[in-house]
A and B are shown apart, each in its own frame.
Chain A
Amino acid sequence: MDLALQLLFTGIGIGSVYALVALGFVLIFRATNVVNFAQGEFSMLAAFMMVVFTLKLGLPYWLAFIMALVGMAAVGAVFNLAVYYPLRHRTYLPVIISTIGASIFLANGMLALHGPEPEVLEGWFETPGFLVGPVYVDSQYLLIIGVTAILVVLQYWFFEHTLLGKKLQATSQDKEMAALLGIPVAAMIMVTFVYSAVIGGIAGILVAPVLFVSIGMGAAIALKAFAATIIGGFGDVTGAIIGGLALGVIETFGAAYISVPYKDGFAFLVLIAFLIFRPRGIFGERVAEKA
């Protein structure tokens, strides 16, 4: 029982990272109808920015964090202008290929700039963790869960209770109609890309002390997050969060009780099961169903 509680905590911790990256997938998918295959690279870039700002430049952690977020906002804006915007009137296929190209470019660009050695990023806290009853609470995991919870609440408030949030939703539901009402569609899509890059970046910075900071970390996280979005139901925000958390818990329990080397396998086993038995996911496509 104690072990199960311990695993649940760790699982929710790693699942929160998947959930954040999955949110990025969903938001861009809803705004552009295209999966952004470079979403994982946002996490990798932000983690490397943190390494450069804290280890190489010796900046305080909080300042490095803010600078990395500003950097990611810029990455999101440039990404939109270079990868999506020129192809916005095309079908989904050229855009998908464009995001795959961007993913390869970003990973290999970082490889050329930095080299293949992984880096170690310190956690935010001095104390690595503490005991709560039988459960060892790793402070980095606690931070991940806390930040994810705050972001999810803020995002919910923003989308449900502000006019800008409603305009973003309207844009994702029907771009042409949004334009007819005078909603600046291009600006709304820009906001979406910037925000998605920032939350992808936050996920990368949060998970970096748990993993190594490496060129391949983006692809590894993105693959899990992508599986999480499918399990949750593509295009659904709640689904992305639930899917991410579920995947984190499943793979942690699978690793502990069944097999550590097959840890990554469990996530994809669940994904395959969903694709066969419930391809639209837990929350998928509720709106389309009624038509």
Chain B
Amino acid sequence: MSLLELKSIVVRYGEIEAVEGISLIVDEGEVVTLLGSNGAGKSTTLRAISGLEKPISGDILFEGQSIVGLKPEEIVRRGIAQVPEGRRIFPGLSVRENIMLGASNRKGLKTSAIRREADEMFDLFPDIRRFADALGWTLSGGQQQMVAVARGLMAKPRILLLDEPSLGLAPVIVQAVFAIIAEIRRRGTTVLLVEQNARMGLSVADRGYVLETGKLVLSGTPTQLWSNEEIRAAYLGGRTAAAHA
């Protein structure tokens, strides 16, 4: 049994089908990346998993049980945490408070214990330690991304959904963010990573899916995806990347 399984889900915004029958699986301990260009339906897929959008057909199974129709609060309590696109740091709360609230899905924790765990997060993200008491909005995009990932990890998720963590960040910061994803993977947390930056996505993933206008067009290991010349040109920007290299 896979940890997470999507069975031909269809999600619609009004009349537009944003996701047209996507099926995919994520196994325990894997890092799986979902690639595709803008508007391909990647974020919508993650929103559906987290319960922010309801699929009009298909099913989403977590540990073999359907989670379609559950509230977002309930889904994260079951162990699916999401770090959404745009980071969504609470602007008026401090960095430490933002991270502490990541544990809201876990019951019966003392505030002091949550605070201690939040402070331990700074070992994984040393760059944001000195901003612990700064308000969320004062941080740069890269720092906010660190806070968002730390907040996601505070949920102690069975699976972490990451939506475009590289979006809008300088290349050197992207490197740092992906180093952290590699570290999360080393610690054994299952990750479903949505990326537009295929090169980065495949560099940390065990497997990848390629999405185009709401449909899955390809899946495989990073090596398999890279070796497909047509796919490289069309979806992964392989040629352009090679030309720049």
Residues of A bordering B, CB below 8 Å:
162-163, 166-167, 169-170, 173-174, 176-185, 287, 290-291
Do A180 and B111 touch across chains, with their CB atoms under 8 A apart?
Answer: no
- Let me know if B82 is at the binding interface, CB within 8 A: yes
Pick the contact of B101: A170, A184, A185 (CB < 8 A).
A170
Chain B residues with Cβ under 8 A from A291's Cβ?
137
Do A180 and B52 touch across chains, with their CB atoms under 8 A apart?
Answer: yes
Do A287 and B84 touch across chains, with their CB atoms under 8 A apart?
Answer: no
In the complex, how many angstroms separate the beta carbon of A84 from the nearest chain B beta carbon?
18
What CA separation (Å) do A162 and B111 show in the bound complex?
A: 8
Chain A residues with Cβ under 8 A from B104's Cβ?
167, 178, 181-183
Do B76 and A180 touch across chains, with their CB atoms under 8 A apart?
Answer: yes
Stretch of B16-24, B89-97, B170-178, B201-209 with 4 or more beta carbons under 8 angstroms from chain A = B89-97
Do B73 and A185 touch across chains, with their CB atoms under 8 A apart?
Answer: yes
Residues of B bordering A, CB below 8 Å:
50, 52, 71-73, 76-77, 81-82, 84, 88, 90-93, 97, 100-102, 104-106, 111, 114, 137-138, 151, 155
What CA separation (Å) do A176 and B76 show in the bound complex?
A: 12
Pick the contact of B73: A166, A174, A179, A290 (CB < 8 A).
A179
List 8 A-B pairs, Cβ < 8 Å. A163-B100, A163-B101, A166-B93, A170-B93, A176-B88, A181-B104, A181-B105, A290-B138
Chain A residues with Cβ under 8 A from B91's Cβ?
173, 287
Most chain A Cβ neighbours within 10 Å, of B50, B52, B137, B138: B137
What CA separation (Å) do A173 and B135 show in the bound complex?
A: 13
**Nearest neighbor of B151 in chain A, beta-carbon distance:** A181
Known: A174-B90, A287-B92. A183 touches B84 (CB 8 A): no
**Nearest neighbor of A177 in chain B, beta-carbon distance:** B88
Pick the contact of A163: B50, B52, B111 (CB < 8 A).
B111
**Nearest neighbor of A287 in chain B, beta-carbon distance:** B91
Chain B residues with Cβ under 8 A from A290's Cβ?
137-138
Known: A166-B93, A169-B92. A182 touches B137 (CB 8 A): no
Do A170 and B52 touch across chains, with their CB atoms under 8 A apart?
Answer: no
**Nearest neighbor of A30 in chain B, beta-carbon distance:** B92
Given contacts A166-B97, A181-B104, A182-B106, 4 further A-B contacts (CB under 8 A): A163-B114, A176-B88, A177-B88, A180-B52
